[in-house]
Structure 1
Amino acid sequence: MIETVRTNSDDYAFKNLVVLLNADLAERDGTAHPLAQFNPISKLKHVVLVLKDGKPVGCGAIARHAKNAMEIKRMYVSPEARGQRIGERILSELEKWSRTLGKDTCVLFMGSNQPEANKLYERNGYLSIPKYGKLKDISDSLCFAKKLKF
C-alpha cells in the first residue's frame, strides 16, 4: 500500500530521507558543490512523505518563494522505489498544497547531474526558466517553473 502524508521538517522520517538525498547528491556532484548551500531543511512547514507498506520511500517540500509562488525543495525517492511514479505522487501533492496556500506557480532548481529529476519535471509540465537569485553564478544549476491550474 502506498500512502502520502503531509508533515514538516521535524519529522524523523523526512530527516532520514534527506540524509540519503544528500549522500546521493554528493556522489553525483561532489561534496563541495555550490548547490549544497541551499540544502538546509530546518523550519520547512510543508513536507510530503510517501510511505510504501509503512516504510518512508520518498519526500519533497515547498517553501515560500514569492508572493504567488512556492519553491519545491528536497525531492527524493529511494532507489528501491524508483520507477513506480513515487516522484510524480510527491510532486502532485506539493502542487496541490501550493494551490491550497493560494499560490499559482511552483519553481525549483536542481543540478544538471540529475537526469531522472529533469525528466520528471519536464514530463509534469515544468519549463526551463532563467536562473534566479544566487543560482545565477552556479554554472550547472537548472531552474524550472510551472503555472498551476486551479
Structure 2
Amino acid sequence: MIDDATTTALRIERLGFAEPVARQLVAQALADLGARYGGEGDETPIAAADFEPPNGAFLVAYRGQTPVGCGAWRSHGDGTAEIKRMFTVPAARGTGVATAVLAAIEADARRAGRTRVILETGGKQPEAIALYGKLGYRRIPNYGYYADEPDCLSFARDL
C-alpha cells in the first residue's frame, strides 16, 4: 500500500497568524513543546502583527487539504529574520515537511530583504537540531527570551 502522506505534493501558503488553521497548528506545536519541556510550551512573547508582511510571515504546509506543518519568521533587527513556530504534525514527520517549510521561510525572508536567519530550539528537540545542522545552520550565542536557559540552543544561517 502506498502511504499518501509521502506521495501527495506539499503546498505551502501564507496565512494570517490569527487564522483558525494557524491557531490550530500553533496550539499543537505548543502542546508538543509542553510535553517535552513542561509548562505552556513556549512563553516567548509574540503578537500576530509580528508575522505580517513586510516584517514577517506565517506559512502553512498542506498535503491535499490537510495542514501538516507550519513555520514563521519575524524581523529581528536590520537584515535578520527570526524563525518561530516550526512544527510538523506527528503523522507527517520524516516526510520532508519541515525541510520544505524552512526553505519557504528562508525564501520569503530573502524576498523581504533579509540576509540572515536566526532561531532558538532546545536540547529535547533532537530532530530539529539535526535538521538545522543538515541545512547549514551553525550555533550562535543564545539570545532572546530563553537566552539564559541551560537547554536553549541558538542557530543562524546566512541567506
For the criterion TM > 0.5, the same-fold answer is yes
Q: For 1:37, which of 35, 40, 43 is the aligned residue?
A: 43
Equivalent residues of 1:39, 1:74 under 8 A apart: no
What SS is found at the alignment partner of 1:66?
Answer: coil
Q: CA RMSD in A?
A: 1.4
**Ranges in structure 1 where 5+ consecutive residues have no aligned partner:** none
Deviations 1:90-127 (A, max 9, x none): 00000000110111000000111100111111111100
Identity of aligned residues (%): 33
Residue in 2 that maps onto 1:84 = 95
Instruction: Supply the distance in 1 between the matched residues of 2:113 and 2:106 (Cα, whole angstroms).
Output: 11
User: What amino acid is aligned across from residue 27 of structure 1 in structure 2?
Assistant: A
Structure 1 window deviating more from structure 2 (135-144 vs 57-66): it is 135-144
Instruction: Supply the distance in 2 between the matched residues of 1:71 and 1:113 (Cα, whole angstroms).
Output: 20
Residue in 2 that maps onto 1:129 = 140
Residue 63 (1) aligns with residue 74 (2): yes
Compute the displacement of 1:139 (Å): 1.1
Residue in 2 that maps onto 1:12 = 20
Residue in 1 that maps onto 2:157 = 146
Deviant stretches of 4+, over 3 Å: none
Compute the displacement of 1:42 (Å): 2.4
Structure 1 window deviating more from structure 2 (41-50 vs 79-88): it is 41-50
